[in-house]
């Protein structure tokens, strides 16, 4: 990788951050397009997020991505929040916007919702309009997925979370902003459900329990697990065995990254180059 005094910096803030594959994905794009940029991982303790973002602004980064646990807290730390990110309540891409006078400003975007929609199209040829969807998880990822579903015009949402009060709060928010969408806290009792999205962290570790009791899994036509490592979680395995169509979160990660690249650079992302680099970084091939 070439670097000199004009190299511009992008990065990702998270805690933990060791397992991120974003540097390989983004740096492959920069190299492919001959951009004198580099993308680095930063372990940022939540207590230092504010100071770290100020550093990003003062040091003239191109921008940063934010991952667990920063995506919700960051909203309040932006100078400006783009409307989709505001609606989702989650910022995963920060742009440092230079100003002619004074210091640069930080603009918060969200590309996760776009990544989800692209992944569902690519992996399942599924559009969300008019569908019945159940979302597991009401943290940052669950909230963004749920609100994106409402924005896409789903007919009905079922929200399930370990801490029920968080699912209830999310249900109220959806109900207020998208009154046409029917929202239930809890799993559907019967009928066919078009899509199950796992947006909890359950499945990352081999000894994690399944995030849903699997005798119900056959009711879902499609099961999408945002987790991509392991490539097939227990949830996806059982879903596949029950005849559901399944996909993991790798293409969502790819497309949120591609969109972030486009926001930062104003250029079309070399998606296939990024996909290949991401696959290699995550699965070693």
**Does 252 interact with ligand ATR (rule: CB under 6 A)?**
no
Q: Does 141 bind ligand ATR (CB under 6 A)?
A: yes
CB of 70 to ligand ATR, least distance (A): 9
DSSP code string of 43-93 = E--GGGHHHHHHHHHHTT-SEEEE-TTSTTGGGGG-SEE-HHHHHHT---E
Q: Does 138 bind ligand ATR (CB under 6 A)?
A: yes
Nearer to ligand ATR, 71 or 109 (CB): 71
Which residue, 121 or 201, has its beta carbon nearer to ligand ATR? 201
Nearer to ligand ATR (CB atom), residue 29 or residue 226: 226
Residue in the block written with tokens 């646990």: 69
Question: Which one of 65, 110, 146, 161 is in contact with ligand ATR (CB under 6 A)?
Answer: 161
How many angstroms separate the Cα of 246 from the Cα of each of 99, 144, 226?
Answer: 46, 20, 11
Residue 201 interacting with ligand ATR (CB under 6 A): yes
How do beta strands 193-198 and 63-66 pair?
unpaired
Q: Which two tokens stand for residue 125?
A: 């040829």
User: How many residues of this chain interact with ligand ATR, rule: CB under 6 A?
Assistant: 17
Per-residue binding letters, 162-181, with ligand ATR (x by CB under 6 A): xx--x---------------
Contact flag: residue 139 with ligand ATR (CB under 6 A) = yes
Active site residue 131: no
- Of 8, 88, 15, the C-alpha closest to 56 is 8
Nearer to ligand ATR, 113 or 139 (CB): 139
* Sole binder of ligand ATR in the list 81, 95, 118, 202 (CB under 6 A): 202
State how beta strands 80-81 and 93-97 pair.
unpaired
CB of 40 to ligand ATR, least distance (A): 21
Task: Tell me which residues in 71-90 interact with ligand ATR (CB under 6 A).
Answer: 71
Q: How far is CA 108 from CA 104, 117, 118, in A?
A: 13, 20, 20
Written as six digits, the tokens of 55 are 């550093």
The length of the chain in residues reads: 285
Instruction: Pick the catalytic residue from 71, 97, 129, 276.
Output: 71
HEC profile for 206-273? CCCCCCCCHHHHHHEEEEEECCCCCCCCHHHHHHHHCCCEEEECHHHHHHHHHHHHHHHHCCCCCHHH
Tokens encoding 101: 């006078």
Nearer to ligand ATR, 7 or 163 (CB): 163
> Which residue from 27, 200, 256, 265 is in contact with ligand ATR, where contact means CB under 6 A?
200
Q: Contact residues for ligand ATR (CB under 6 A)?
A: 68-69, 71, 137-142, 161-163, 166, 199-202
Give the residue numbers marked as catalytic.
Answer: 71
């Amino acid at each position: 990788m070439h670097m000199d005094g004009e190299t511009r910096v992008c990065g990702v803030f998270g805690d933990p951050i060791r397992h991120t594959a974003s540097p390989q994905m983004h740096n492959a794009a920069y190299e492919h397009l001959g951009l004198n940029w580099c993308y680095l991982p930063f372990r940022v303790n939540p207590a230092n997020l504010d100071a770290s973002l100020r550093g990003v602004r003062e040091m003239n980064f191109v921008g940063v991505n934010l991952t667990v646990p920063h995506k919700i807290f960051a909203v309040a730390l932006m100078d400006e929040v783009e409307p989709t990110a505001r609606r989702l309540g989650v910022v995963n891409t920060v742009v440092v916007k230079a100003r002619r006078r004074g210091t640069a400003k930080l603009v918060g975007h969200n590309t996760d919702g776009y990544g989800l929609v692209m992944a569902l199209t690519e992996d399942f040829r599924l559009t969300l309009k008019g569908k019945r969807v159940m979302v597991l998880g009401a943290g940052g990822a669950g909230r963004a997925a749920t609100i994106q579903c409402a924005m896409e015009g789903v007919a009905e949402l079922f929200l399930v979370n370990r801490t029920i009060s968080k699912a209830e709060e999310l249900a109220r928010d959806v109900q207020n902003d998208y009154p046409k969408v029917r929202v239930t806290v809890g799993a559907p009792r019967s009928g066919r459900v078009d899509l199950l999205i796992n947006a909890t962290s359950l499945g990352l570790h081999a000894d994690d329990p399944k995030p849903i009791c699997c005798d119900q899994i056959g009711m879902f036509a499609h099961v999408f697990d945002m987790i991509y490592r392991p490539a097939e979680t227990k949830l996806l395995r059982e879903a596949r065995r029950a005849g559901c169509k399944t996909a993991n979160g790798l293409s969502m990660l790819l497309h949120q990254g591609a969109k972030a690249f486009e926001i930062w650079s104003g250029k079309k992302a070399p998606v296939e180059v990024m996909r290949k680099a991401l696959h290699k970084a995550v699965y070693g091939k």
